[in-house]
Chain A
Amino acid sequence: MKKIKQFIFRLTHLNGLWLPIAVALLWETMSRQGDAYAYTFVSLSQIAHGFAELVSSGELLVNLAATLQTTVIGLLIGGIAGLLVGGLMAVSPTADKLIGPLYHTIRQVPLLGLIPLIALWFGNGLSSKILIVSLAAFYPIVLNTFEGMRGVEKKYIEVSSVLKLNRLQLFLKVLLPAAMPSILTGVSHALAFAWISTVGTELLFSTGPGLGGLMQIAQEASRMDIVIIGVASIGLTGLLMNAGLSRLSQYLLRWRSVR
């Protein structure tokens, strides 16, 4: 009796697996319905075959590395610029009043909608991609830096004025650490946006290496297996980066006495 109960318990825990298995089975049967179906529903063995091909030729790794590189460079440029601008807006009300409206106006344009403009100005190359990705990272970090620093408790600032800290010291020793939780939230948003827009720019520019470009070429060659592998690698890499970042922020925020 107990064993049966355990078995049922285990089954309910596997509930989440039924759907993917069912979809995979349906997919596989669809792929065997004839050539018309095999065009979109490539068989699972073909996907595995495509994966082996991409890995052994090194194509997957090269493209993944290129996409990661664009994301990281964009994140660094946009992140540093965002930190500076957000910090400036938090420290100086004049800067806030001058930059704030401009920031909120420009932010209204969907980022990928800027691509035709940026392509005309800066061409199709890597610099255009990096510009878009930097902007994607810039927006959330400005907002979170600004809000984090604005939300710093008054008493900390009063203590710093008692201790006669100068502005730079105030910024580095009080505002930055106090705003760190908010900034790290901004970084995690920025990472997600940077990743999305990297893939988006690669799809739209379709020049140079990158997972987006790989998928674009595969789509034109009707290689569904490669497209699926591309989608899976994009999702998986995003997930891994996100997990890594949340580990990092846990480490950076270990001084907080929350929970």
Chain B
Amino acid sequence: MINLRVQANRFRSRALYFISPLLLLLIWAWVCRAGIFPEQILVSPAGVLETGRELWASGELPAHLHDSLLRLGWGFAMGAFLGLLFGVLMGLFKAVDRFFAPSFNAIRQVPTIAFIPMLIMIFGVEETFKIVVVAKAAFFPVTLATYDAVKGIPRTYFEVSRVYQLPTWHLITRIVLPSTTPPVLTGFRLALGRSWMVLVAAELIAADSGIGQMMEMGRQMFRIDIVLVGVLVTGLIGFVLDRGLRSVEAHLGRWKYR
């Protein structure tokens, strides 16, 4: 009985969660039905869905998605790997820290987007430029999170490892890695979100394929439905990436709350 009531309550709060998005959808559909705005300004939800299905069936949307995600994957992998390496080195060795920190902090102040014109001039508008932009966007948050995490390992852990005469390999796998994993993953999540946004912006500015380019093309052809499909897809991908890393975080960080 009590269980039932708890379940009913849970259901109600879950249901409440969907009220406002549904309401927005209904108002949107109603405004279109009433014909308040012309077709070029607002397309009905059903129309957007239809365009989305067409784009998917024609293979256009999958191709754009493939290109965008490939760029994101390569760029993020490179940026995050270099960030991890650099963060660990700066965190462990004072000399490296002193040598690089001022330049690192100075460059960190400049938003990645501001580098886009410069990177276009250096690398052209081809794939290299997009991957470099994504890598740059990923590098800084990951480096910072790794650096802070390594600096945050309590000195006593190192002392204990020395007392037990742990080999360096074990020091890394049993102490450094587990104690830095949660903050580094948070850094990864931040970095992935930023990389995605910067990639979409870069594709809006200069690209011949990708979700951003699809939206830009839709804008130039006054196809608001294509633009809306693009907005929904970018939002969905951002959401999935964020949620995915959050669940990885919860999974790998579960020892923390035991």
Instruction: Give the B-binding residues of A (Cβ under 8 A).
Output: 12, 15-20, 23, 39-40, 97-102, 105-106, 108-117, 119-121, 195-196, 199-200, 203-204, 211-212, 215-216, 218-219, 222, 224, 227-228, 230-232, 234-236, 238-239, 242
Contact = CB atoms under 8 A, between A and B. Distances in A.
Interface in B9-68: 13, 16-21, 24, 41
B98 A235 contact: no
Contact of A230 (B20, B101, B114): B114
Q: Please name the 6 residue pairs, one residue from A and one from B, whose CB atoms are nearest each other, closest first.
A: A16-B102, A110-B197, A235-B110, A109-B235, A219-B117, A116-B219
Interface of B is mostly: helix
A113 B218 CA distance: 13
B78 interface: no
B204 A101 contact: no
Given A105-B21, A109-B231, A228 B118 contact: yes
A200 B113 contact: yes
Contacts, number: 157
B121 A222 contact: yes
Nearest to B107: A235
A121 B21 CA distance: 21
B102 A115 contact: no
Contact of A231 (B17, B114, B201): B114
A108 B219 contact: no
14 contacts: A15-B95, A20-B106, A97-B17, A101-B19, A102-B24, A113-B212, A113-B230, A116-B216, A120-B222, A200-B201, A203-B113, A203-B205, A224-B118, A239-B109
In the complex, which of the residues A113, A115, A195, A236 has the most CB atoms of chain B within 10 Å of its own CB atom? A113
Given A16-B102, A115-B204, A215-B117, 6 more contacts: A20-B103, A98-B19, A109-B238, A110-B201, A114-B231, A238-B110
Interface of B: 13, 16-21, 24, 41, 95, 98-103, 106-107, 109-111, 113-118, 120-122, 193, 196-197, 200-201, 204-205, 211-212, 215-216, 218-219, 222, 224, 227-228, 230-232, 234-236, 238-239, 242
B20 A99 contact: yes
Contacts of B231: 109, 113-114, 116-117
Nearest to B223: A120
A109 B240 CA distance: 11
Contact of A102 (B21, B113, B219, B235): B21
Given A16-B103, A200-B201, A97 B16 contact: yes
A235 B118 CA distance: 14
Nearest to A199: B114
Contacts of B101: 16
Contacts of B205: 203-204
Contacts of A228: 118
Nearest to A204: B204
A39 B197 CA distance: 29
A20 B107 CA distance: 11
Contact of B234 (A39, A109, A219, A232): A109
